[in-house]
Amino acid sequence: MARRERGSATGPLLLALLLTLLVLATVYAFAAHLYPAPPPITSDAVLVDRQYNLTLYVTGAVFILAQLGLAYAVLRFRDRGQRARFTRGNIAMEILWSSATVFTFVGLAILGRNAWAEVRFTPPASDAIQVEVTTNQFVYTFRYPGADGKFGMLDSTLVNAPAGNPLGLDPNDPAGKDDIVVPTLTVPVNRPVELLLRSQDVVHNFFVRELRLQQDAVPGMVIPVHFTANQIGKYEIVCTQLCGLGHSRMYSILNVVSQFDYESFLKRQAAGQ
């Protein structure tokens, strides 16, 4: 059989170059912090950042090696006119890289468990401020229990946002008389806060980048999450579940204020109820 023509080296060379450029551009984007996350405002968020960076370094190293290896293989094993060889694979290599992958990801998961447990498995401090968060298309509504520390009963048949009762507060329950219902979330700095997430219609989400906290709100469930913000400021709350046509408009504000400002907020709201 006649030897085949040697293929052009231009294609493989360009592809290898493109892959190398892709790797360089990606490494640059991360190393130069082109899209930095806003500074964390809880100690849990710091743990999340640490875990994120560790995962990024490990997967980043794998990404660089894999892509450069691909560029090398494209170039090294290009068409030189040789006959293609069939290979059944290499069992030893497959066992090696499959177990390396398993160890890497299980290892990262075990290390990440600390940060996760801190937020999800540890109950909030007993003096945590409770705020109920109700989501619906496409707004957040926050409820504080008021001076009595008790949330009033809700009745879904009484839900009527235009009439000023978006949550369906039962007017016959005395515990609900002093409940404060507001469209934005105000919490004092350095105090544990427990949120109770609810949804009136579809799956929504509560996400604040600075808290590194993201939790779905699911109809029929009350999902608790907690945090302690250590930085006074205004932060954006966004819904990260595609919850309908108005999804992109669904956001609110988290105000972290001093204890004094928090108390005057509560007083102002109580006076206005």
Task: Kindly list the residues in this chain that would bind Cu ion in the complex (CB under 5 A).
Answer: 204, 239, 243, 250
Asked if residue 222 lies in contact with residue 195, where contact means CB atoms within 8 angstroms, the answer is: no
Beta carbon nearer to Cu ion, 133 or 211: 133
The least CB distance from residue 215 to Cu ion, in Å, is: 12
The least CB distance from residue 203 to Cu ion, in Å, is: 8
Q: Which tokens belong to 54?
A: 């560790």
The least CB distance from residue 115 to Cu ion, in Å, is: 26
The phi and psi torsions of 233 (rounded to 5 degrees) equal 165, 180
Asked if residue 138 lies in contact with residue 247, where contact means CB atoms within 8 angstroms, the answer is: yes
b (16+ CB within 10 A) / e for 129-140: bbbbbbbbbbbb
Bridge partners of 197? Answer: 133, 223
Bridge partners of 131? Answer: 195
Helix (H, G, I), strand (E, B) or coil at 78: coil
**Cis peptide leading into residue 138 (ω within 30°):** yes
C-alpha closest to that of 115 among 191, 52, 56: 52
Beta carbon nearer to Cu ion, 166 or 188: 166
Beta carbon nearer to Cu ion, 208 or 243: 243
The least CB distance from residue 241 to Cu ion, in Å, is: 5
Beta carbon nearer to Cu ion, 115 or 243: 243
* Cα maximum dimension of the chain: 96
The least CB distance from residue 36 to Cu ion, in Å, is: 26
Beta carbon nearer to Cu ion, 47 or 239: 239
Beta carbon nearer to Cu ion, 213 or 239: 239
The least CB distance from residue 233 to Cu ion, in Å, is: 23
